[in-house]
Structure 1
Amino acid sequence: MKHRLLFFTCLLTWCFNAQVLDPIKWTTSVEKISDTEYNLIATANIDAGWHLYSQTVPEGGPIATTFTYDNSEETFTLNDNTVEEEGHTIQDPVFEMEIKFFERQAKFIQNVTVSKETATISGFVEFMVCDDTRCLPPTEIDLEFQLSEKTNLSTKTKSDITPTTAIDKRTNSTDDSSSNKGLWSIFFIAFLSGFAALLTPCVFPMIPMTVSFFTKQSKNKASGIKNAIIYGICIIVIYLLLGVAVTGIFGADALNALATNVWFNIIFFILLVVFAVSFLGAFEIMLPNSWANKVDSQADRGGLVGIFFMALALAIVSFSCTGPIVGTLLVEAASKGGLAPIIGMFGFSLAIALPFALFAAFPGWLNSLPKSGGWLNTVKVVLGFLELALAFKFLSQADLVLQLHILEREVFIAIWIAIFGTLAFYLFGKIKLPHDSPLSHISVGRLSLGLIVLTFTIYMIPGLWGAPLNIISAFPPPQDYSESPYGVGFSKLGSGGKASAHGELPEGAHLLAPHDIMAFNDYDTGLAYAKKVGKPVMLDFTGWACVNCRKMEQNIWPDPSVLNILKEDVVLISLYVDDKRKLEDDEIVDSQLKPGKKLKYIGQKWSEMQTIKYKSNSQPFYVIIDHNEEKLVDPVGYVPDVEDYHTWLEEGINNF
């Protein structure tokens, strides 16, 4: 019975994988703006369950959608870049970055100005699609835009498969809920930041002063409650205007693109360091006093105008404490793009406004507030340390993009250990900063916070020796971006420090870290070696940016039963379909899948081989063959179960 189930499982897997997939269809249309100006519209119709990547993908992430227009005869001019729809943005857990994609349908619009008479504009789009278990190599599709008096003239294009690159899929939400979750997280973080700002020396003492003003100026309780609500709304409006201004000045898409820009990250690293040093007491960031005086004079006018200027005065006077927090929030929100800066400012201002409005409406509650004192500066200093730690996230992103290897994982973690270790000493009263009050004893709250920070600091120490540190995985560089990818003092898995289980490495072979599996990246070289040593070949059609390929290598291959087979019983040939290295001149041949096109890159060669020979174009894709290049077992794709994958390997070897 077990063998029958295995047979049907393999049969279904083969039926699922052994097909040339074509989940996206492109159509073109033209919208005439004037006699010389047109919008070229390319529409992608995407099958259910598949995703198309955006044009803007962060450095080190998957392959982006790219449009190229043929202007060899100089008949038109491109106006700005190709515009795309909002799409969905998620935090990808594997790439550790935000990635944007489209579902169902996506429209891309390119505005052009025609300078010479022409009937058509040609071009092509290179794109990639993924579902939850596999990805297809980027496909190059020819596009033709018929310039006509009619608008929305639809022209269907031929969808040929020209494999070039492979990327795998994210595991998160598949609809608007993903972007909504991102906005909700921004709101929640901003809301908590607003409460943190309340507990600073610039803001907290102003609560009783404001409440006193409203209780004295209001004729009755109902009037006081109304004025308090208006005051709270004015605070929200002021900060919302700031969020709207940031979004309006830079633009939603530009903000998202800036998040991956090297100079953006370096500038905001410097900015956050300045904010942190300010919070630690070196200096204060203040707006000109003349602004506060002018606004304060307007607050005496009374009515709605007076209440609004009172709220504006609060924002200006408290800027030395709220400014760094607001600045940090806007930096983080700007990196998300879209409405994130507005949502962030709404959450922050709501947390600020609620206490002022509630205490003004119910002044009796003031008796429950703690008195102002040195603890307010402690809150400010703690925020300064957090700002300083966050600053290095931006510097790390710049280092990753430039591949300078200056701020590698160990260095980043060491800096965080130093920052949070110093914070722990501060909370325990061992370090005093400029604006601290004399400390005769440590409160229970301060001691508890100090213990939490110390625990977190100790937790990070094993990260210097290769521990994954899952709690903070979104902040430090990935584990392979380090001085010791295997971990400091950690032996290579299963090798005992030797070069390879196969002995000396043959020509063309290398070791895959950290498992020390010997692999070839050239088909002919690997096959020749397999014939020499008398072992079957396992073809691994993979990609450098293939998420599920990495999952298989990190979660399935390390299992002892699987690892032993990969190291001892087969010759592994890893063929990267997204290898952008150029082929030698004598290796460039015509594509069999797309007449008239040349195979120029190594990745194109392996991708076309997979498509033609094995009728599949998704990765990961595993094939076990004999020395006559015949399949020994039905190929499989992404197999997240160790036992299933091991059974498949055993069957292939037994058939050799």
Structure 2
Amino acid sequence: MRNILTVLVLLVTGLGFSQVQDPVKWKSSIEKISDTEYQLKLDATIESEWHMYSQFTPEGGPLPLEFIYNNAEGNYEPQDKATESEYKKQFNDIFEVDEYYFAKEAHFTHNIKITNPEVKTIQLELSYQACIDMCIQQNKFFVFDLETLTSKEVQNFEDIAVTPTPNDSLAKTKPLAENIKIDKSEKKGLWSIFIIAFFSGFAALLTPCVFPMIPMTVSFFTKQSKSRAKGIKNAIIYGLSIIIIYVLLGLIVTKIFGADALNALSTNVWFNIIFFVILVVFASSFLGAFEIMLPNSWANKVDKQADRGGFVGIFFMALALAIVSFSCTGPIVGTLLVEAASKGGMAPLIGMFGFSLALALPFMLFAMFPGWLNSMPRSGGWMNTVKVSLGFLELALAFKFLSNADLVLQKHWLEREVFLAIWIAVFAAWAIYLFGKIQLPHDSKIEKISVGRLFMALLVSTFTIYLVPGLWGAPLKLISGFPPPMTYSESPYGVGGGNSGAGVLTEIPDGAKEGPHGIVAFLDYEKGMAYAKEHNKPVLLDFTGFACVNCRKMEEHVWSETNVLNLLKNEMVLISLYVDEKKELPENEQYISETTGKKIKTVGNKWSDFQIEKYQANAQPYYIVLDNEGNSLNTPVGYTPEVTEYQNWLEEGIKNYSK
């Protein structure tokens, strides 16, 4: 049902039924602490699926909440930063910094010391950013009366003596996205964890520690049971016991650390460095340097319990399998739990369920159909090949965690080129190993390789070759999210220029700058429109923000596509208006908005007000194709991650312009 609603929202947005959004509602109050001290209280209620950023959000990422006092000078002194309720923390791959944010609600208190006994009011402006699949830059104004100890929200500070009347268009507006999840990343993340875990479980089955156990265990159940039905029942109980054991492990990890704590740990420098070391140790074990084993006494104690028979005995047989096979399954389970930790929430449980389901299914299915045992491949050296292959994968994945730590620290020790060079070396070594040119400690001597191994070697070789152009700026979309972003690079292409696409201007016109991928972007509406008229081209009007995550996603993943980039460089004039630009307008250009009743003081305020007044929308990204007279040529759109859909939309606008 939620997915259907999401589609409806996107359709409505695509059809142009845009409206002004106000996802954060505020309540304010004031309390007198002493003759010269007051405490301001602000409580925010945030609509479902939206989030608002904390005042402590690091520089370089989304915009933090700001407390701005209008009449403080000579009248009162805010005491340090406002105290706020607990925020959530997550690493942002686009900005390469942690982001601190609130969901559902947030609470703030700020102590104010009065220095002028004559002052009657405290005037507070809150500036903050709220995001979902789009971002909104908001400014709210509050007046706290020191005599009556009351507070109210106002449209601006210029007319605080009059109780403000909300603008009708805003008062009647109800946010379109209320209670609807547009950002599906969490659900998608859990599905990806399950799928990865499921295939990891199958990979664990093929290792020397687990594979030989299948015929032995199934034969035990079928021979020791009085009937075939009883044998099948026992095998099913055995499989379910395996699932319960691993899911319990996921539950323990979640309970010990807490769902949010796991997510917070995933952005911690030391967490990432420690797990880099752990994964290198796991990889070394798989490659044959040593065996990671649990104490033998554990296995002996569990074996004794398995002799009890019945459900309890079968459960302990499953536990014995988990302990005995730990040298092969432990590194896989550990890696899964680390990856799940980066997702937080239910991810460790989902990961362990997927892994254990794949591990348990063969035991149950072969017990139901014993004849299948005859078709199983025999144990042999191929199992060590699987184990070593997992070692190469573990080693490659380890550097993702080291990269995370480097990104958080911004040390530039593991920039994109270095990361890719390491991956190329690891996967090239794996390919050479599969071709039989490298022998590791536990390998059997081979004179020829199987057809399956040859195909696997060719696949790994192809992937290695695919990585090579990334050293010179290729986007490598197959592994997007694993290497550092292109902006975290020692090469010029990482700055956003690049030479992809034709038609790069040698001179930047007045009022413009070189934007992403070498596109020339005008930062002033009038100058951009004048240039479009002079060169007889349609305009792409881009309402954006410096701290808008999805704006950057569109620029990195959609605008970079050859066909889209060609249209933006050669067929259109781009005007990018930043609604979070903090540069103040000259005094004579500041004004009170007729639409919102708020004072327009900054360049960002001006473009935000323009978007609201002209297009009845206040979310970013927001795109409109215009003729050079300012008339819309098709329906405006917001965040549109599908390249073909966005390209078709641009082409529609250009076609309408040529008419």
Letter in 1 for 2:569: L
Higher mean alpha-carbon deviation, 333-342 vs 387-396, is at 387-396
Distance 1:245 1:432 in 2: 39
Matched, 1:542 2:544: yes
Preserved CA contact (<8 Å) 2:302 2:319? yes
SS of 1:126's equivalent in the other structure is strand
After TM superposition, list the pairs within 5 Å mapping 1:396-435 onto structure 2: 396-435=403-442
Matched, 1:227 2:234: yes
After TM superposition, list the pairs within 5 Å mapping 1:465-480 onto structure 2: 465-480=472-487
Aligned-residue offset at 1:138: 2.0
Preserved CA contact (<8 Å) 1:552 1:638? no
Give the one of 326, 335, 340 matched to 1:328: 335
Aligned-residue offset at 1:294: 2.1
Find the counterpart in structure 2 of residue 43 from structure 1.
Answer: 45
Find the counterpart in structure 2 of residue 501 from structure 1.
Answer: 506
Give the one of 555, 563, 580 matched to 2:569: 563
Q: Kindly provide the CA deviation profile for residues 322-342 of structure 1, in whole angstroms up to 9, marking residues without a partner as x.
A: 000001111111212211111
Give the one of 625, 646, 651 matched to 2:654: 646
Find the counterpart in structure 2 of residue 52 from structure 1.
Answer: 50
Number of matched pairs: 576
Find the counterpart in structure 2 of residue 617 from structure 1.
Answer: 618
Give the one of 360, 366, 369 matched to 2:373: 366
Distance 1:578 1:69 in 2: 15
Q: Cα 1:433–1:523, aligned 2, differ >3 Å: closer, same or farther?
A: same
Find the counterpart in structure 2 of residue 193 from structure 1.
Answer: 200
Q: Cα 1:396–1:588, aligned 2, differ >3 Å: closer, same or farther?
A: farther
Letter in 2 for 1:373: G
SS of 1:128's equivalent in the other structure is strand
Aligned-residue offset at 1:276: 1.2
Preserved CA contact (<8 Å) 2:96 2:407? no
Preserved CA contact (<8 Å) 1:276 1:383? yes
Matched, 1:81 2:79: no
Preserved CA contact (<8 Å) 2:125 2:139? no
Preserved CA contact (<8 Å) 2:21 2:618? no
Aligned-residue offset at 1:529: 11
Distance 2:84 2:631 in 1: 53
Q: Percent identical across equivalent pairs? A: 54
Q: Cα 1:553–1:459, aligned 2, differ >3 Å: closer, same or farther?
A: closer
Preserved CA contact (<8 Å) 2:206 2:383? yes
Distance 2:207 2:27 in 1: 57
Find the counterpart in structure 2 of residue 21 from structure 1.
Answer: 20
Q: Cα 1:621–1:328, aligned 2, differ >3 Å: closer, same or farther?
A: same
Distance 2:336 2:308 in 1: 33
Distance 2:57 2:460 in 1: 32
Give the one of 288, 295, 319 matched to 1:281: 288
CA RMSD after TM alignment: 5.4
Aligned-residue offset at 1:314: 1.2
Preserved CA contact (<8 Å) 2:209 2:324? yes
Find the counterpart in structure 1 of residue 314 from structure 2.
Answer: 307
Matched, 1:578 2:580: yes
Q: Kindly provide the CA deviation profile for residues 189-247 of structure 1, in whole angstroms up to 9, marking residues without a partner as x.
A: 21211111111111112223333443454344343333222222221111111000111
Aligned-residue offset at 1:20: 6.9
Q: Kindly provide the CA deviation profile for residues 537-574 of structure 1, in whole angstroms up to 9, marking residues without a partner as x.
A: 977543233635627754599665653466xxx7x764
Q: Cα 1:323–1:588, aligned 2, differ >3 Å: closer, same or farther?
A: farther
Letter in 2 for 1:138: Q
Letter in 2 for 1:642: L
Aligned-residue offset at 1:377: 0.6
Preserved CA contact (<8 Å) 2:286 2:390? yes
SS of 1:279's equivalent in the other structure is helix
Find the counterpart in structure 2 of residue 385 from structure 1.
Answer: 392
Find the counterpart in structure 1 of residue 514 from structure 2.
Answer: 511
Distance 1:409 1:266 in 2: 18
Find the counterpart in structure 1 of residue 104 from structure 2.
Answer: 107
Distance 1:482 1:386 in 2: 24
Q: Kindly provide the CA deviation profile for residues 409-447 of structure 1, in whole angstroms up to 9, marking residues without a partner as x.
A: 333322222211111110110001111111122112111
SS of 1:138's equivalent in the other structure is strand
Aligned-residue offset at 1:395: 2.5
Higher mean alpha-carbon deviation, 233-242 vs 62-71, is at 62-71
SS of 1:463's equivalent in the other structure is helix
Preserved CA contact (<8 Å) 2:127 2:139? yes
Letter in 1 for 2:137: P
Matched, 1:293 2:300: yes
Aligned-residue offset at 1:140: 3.5
Matched, 1:462 2:469: yes
Letter in 2 for 1:107: K
Preserved CA contact (<8 Å) 1:562 1:646? no
SS of 1:231's equivalent in the other structure is helix
Preserved CA contact (<8 Å) 1:123 1:143? yes
Higher mean alpha-carbon deviation, 587-596 vs 136-145, is at 587-596
After TM superposition, list the pairs within 5 Å mapping 1:432-447 onto structure 2: 432-447=439-454
Find the counterpart in structure 2 of residue 238 from structure 1.
Answer: 245
Find the counterpart in structure 2 of residue 149 from structure 1.
Answer: none
Find the counterpart in structure 2 of residue 166 from structure 1.
Answer: none
Q: Cα 1:94–1:300, aligned 2, differ >3 Å: closer, same or farther?
A: same
Q: Name stretches of at least 5 consecutive residues in structure 1 with no aligned partner.
A: 1-11, 31-38, 115-121, 146-154, 162-168, 652-656
Distance 1:59 1:259 in 2: 17
Distance 2:66 2:494 in 1: 42
SS of 2:45's equivalent in the other structure is strand
Matched, 1:607 2:608: yes
TM-score (norm. length: structure 2): 0.70
Q: Cα 1:586–1:258, aligned 2, differ >3 Å: closer, same or farther?
A: farther
SS of 1:245's equivalent in the other structure is helix
Find the counterpart in structure 2 of residue 9 from structure 1.
Answer: none
Distance 2:234 2:352 in 1: 22
Distance 1:309 1:183 in 2: 30
Aligned-residue offset at 1:482: 3.0
Preserved CA contact (<8 Å) 2:499 2:517? no
Find the counterpart in structure 1 of residue 173 from structure 2.
Answer: none
Preserved CA contact (<8 Å) 1:55 1:64? yes
Higher mean alpha-carbon deviation, 552-561 vs 339-348, is at 552-561
Preserved CA contact (<8 Å) 1:295 1:313? yes
Q: Kindly provide the CA deviation profile for residues 364-398 of structure 1, in whole angstroms up to 9, marking residues without a partner as x.
A: 54333222111111000011111112222223333
Preserved CA contact (<8 Å) 1:28 1:143? no
SS of 1:137's equivalent in the other structure is strand
Q: Cα 1:212–1:530, aligned 2, differ >3 Å: closer, same or farther?
A: closer
Letter in 2 for 1:253: D
Aligned-residue offset at 1:128: 2.1
Preserved CA contact (<8 Å) 2:98 2:408? no
TM-score (norm. length: structure 1): 0.70
Preserved CA contact (<8 Å) 1:515 1:558? no
Distance 2:195 2:232 in 1: 27
Q: Cα 1:646–1:433, aligned 2, differ >3 Å: closer, same or farther?
A: same
